[in-house]
Structure 1
Amino acid sequence: MVDHLTPEARSENMSRVRNRGTGPELRVRRALHRAGFRFRLHRRDIPGTPDLYLPKYKLAVFVHGCFWHGHEGCRRAKLPATRQEFWREKIERNKARDRGVEAALSDLGIVPVILWECGLKDEGAIVDIISRHAHRASADDDRTE
């Protein structure tokens, strides 16, 4: 498939892609708030600046775009037809950074939770994933006391 935009127009489009307040992130925020979870947004004092942080459970929630973070096996993670080497390297750097952030969070006793854009259609599924992690975190706290 040939790109119908000029390189300059494509660059302009890509520069407008936001990393905060995205549709998928807002969907997660609404679902968790309705379910009674309370969280903080974009805590810069936590490695990776998670999209949401649930202090009660020490959960750092990241809402990953399938394309930008290279979601394995997802149709949304397909590389563009042009400049494939550039995009492959960029996405590999993102994945390496994500692994480093997850390790740093684990060292601090914070549980990283990754929610993929393609799995956010069902509000109940979002709440189930967070509930499972919160339950595990609560159980771990009970064992250490």
Structure 2
Amino acid sequence: MMQANKGRDTKPELALRRALHAMGLRYRVCARPVPEIRRKVDIVFGPSRVAVEVRGCFWHGCPEHCRPSSKNREFWSNKITANRARDRDTEMRLSEAGWLVIVVWEHEDVPKAADRVAAAVRSRRPVTVTARSSLAE
């Protein structure tokens, strides 16, 4: 049964990627931002060093929407607790490596989330050579 659950290309992830692409942003999908860290991130903006995690409310224990499972309660509680611990560890490792991690929950408004990601990516873009020369003038 769990094999039917997608690890990537979920509906919320696809909706966010479509919105970001429509804004003219380009990114890598399901990639390792830092090769030494064995964790993949849903959407990666390399030059800006922004990593976007699209999280499902059930699987990642959304503080607003996660309800405890009625069946096999102990297993699911342990599973979600472990997922949340891994998420925190990933955020910490990427932050220490200089990356900004943005979490988008599946219940969030896609246009607002896309605006938030786009603003972060644009604010962290490296200054290009042509921009430097025009600043000097």
The corresponding residue for 1:20 is 8
Q: State the TM-score, normalized to the length of structure 2.
A: 0.82
Deviation at 1:129, TM superposition (A): 1.2
Determine whether 1:115 maps to 2:98. no
* Aligned residue identity for 1:36: G
Higher helix share: 1
Gaps of 5+ in 1: 1-11
Determine whether 1:129 maps to 2:120. no
Deviation at 1:126, TM superposition (A): 2.0
Deviation at 1:135, TM superposition (A): 4.3
Query: Matched residues in 1 for 2:92 and 2:32: separation?
Result: 17
Query: Matched residues in 2 for 1:30 and 1:51: separation?
Result: 13
The corresponding residue for 2:40 is 49
The corresponding residue for 2:134 is none
TM-aligned CA distance change 1:123 to 1:71, over 3 Å: closer
Gaps of 5+ in 2: 128-137
* Aligned residue identity for 1:29: R
Deviation at 1:43, TM superposition (A): 1.2
Deviation at 1:21, TM superposition (A): 1.0
TM-aligned CA distance change 1:27 to 1:127, over 3 Å: same
Q: Percent identity?
A: 35
**Aligned pairs, how many?**
125
Query: Matched residues in 1 for 2:21 and 2:96: separation?
Result: 28
Cα shift readout 1:10-57 (whole Å, capped 9, x = no counterpart):
xx2x22101111111111110000011110111135343011101131
- Asked if the contact 1:31–1:126 (Cα under 8 Å) also holds between the matched residues in 2, the reply is no
What value does the CA root-mean-square deviation take over the aligned residues? 1.9
Picking from 71, 95, 99, the partner of 2:88 is: 99
* Aligned residue identity for 2:116: I
Cα shift readout 1:65-89 (whole Å, capped 9, x = no counterpart):
0100001022xx1122111111111
Q: State the TM-score, normalized to the length of structure 1.
A: 0.78
